[in-house]
Amino acid sequence: MKAMILAAGRGERMRPLTDVIPKPLLKVGSHSLIEHNILAVVRAGISEIVINVAYRAEQIMEALGDGERYGAQISYSIEKPGELDTGGGVYKALPLLGEAPFLIINSDTWTDYSLKNLLSQPTKLAHLVLVPNPEHNPQGDFGLEAELVSLEPPRYTYAGIGVYHPDLFCECKLEKFSLIAPLTKAIAQLQVTGEMYTGKWVNVGTSEQLFALSAANK
């Protein structure tokens, strides 16, 4: 299995920090946000990683290199800033990801969830990790009925972690779209499984969250 780390966003809510440093390179402790997830992917036994980059792409590629020092092989899918969104970014990277299911994790996801749990997924078009709703997303994203993700309440928040089959994108084209679009269609067809995780998880979206994590991980 390969992994993709989504790192193309501008990080508007992190300004002015992200005016000079791309959000994935902001540090928590001794490592940047994206390095924490690279290391988590490698610990799970996945060495081939694709990272999509757009805003300050050269800065990210220079910082991470080819991945050798992390025990990984990193390839980059280069986008124009604001061009594709999450779904379009994954679609563009499909030639690098191959024909087998692949893991996706957002570069700004901070968690102690073990990615090893996902190595045998999915049995359908996708498998998502859901978490209790944080303050910034009180309505949630998806429901969960037994092992099937649904569109019915109560809804929980997508953790930015999942495994996707390339066939999920078979009706898509290279344009700007969110991952939510193909997921919603697949969920309606009962083609998405999921699980709840109640451990440590933060979507690092603000400087306050970043500073709090840094203070807790000195």
Residue 32: give its domain's CATH number. 3.90.550.10
Q: Is the pLDDT of residue 169 over 80?
A: yes
Q: How many separate domains does the chain show?
A: 1
Residue 84 CA to residue 92 CA, distance in Å, equals 9
Measured distance CA(38)–CA(49) in Å, rounded:
8
pLDDT on residue 11: 80
- How does DSSP classify residue 156? B
Average pLDDT over residues 188-192: 96
What totals of helices (H) and strands (E) does the chain contain, helices first? 5, 13
Mean pLDDT within 161-174: 96
Q: If you average pLDDT over residues 29-56, what whole number do you get?
A: 95
Query: Which phi-psi region, left, alpha or beta, contains residue 211 (left: φ > 0; alpha: ψ -120 to 50)?
Result: alpha
Tokens of 2: 């390969």
- Give me the chain's average pLDDT, please: 94
pTM for the structure as a whole: 0.94
- What is the domain extent for residue 102? 2-216
Helices marked H in the chain: 33-43, 57-64, 85-97, 180-188, 207-216
Give the per-residue pLDDT at 8. Answer: 95
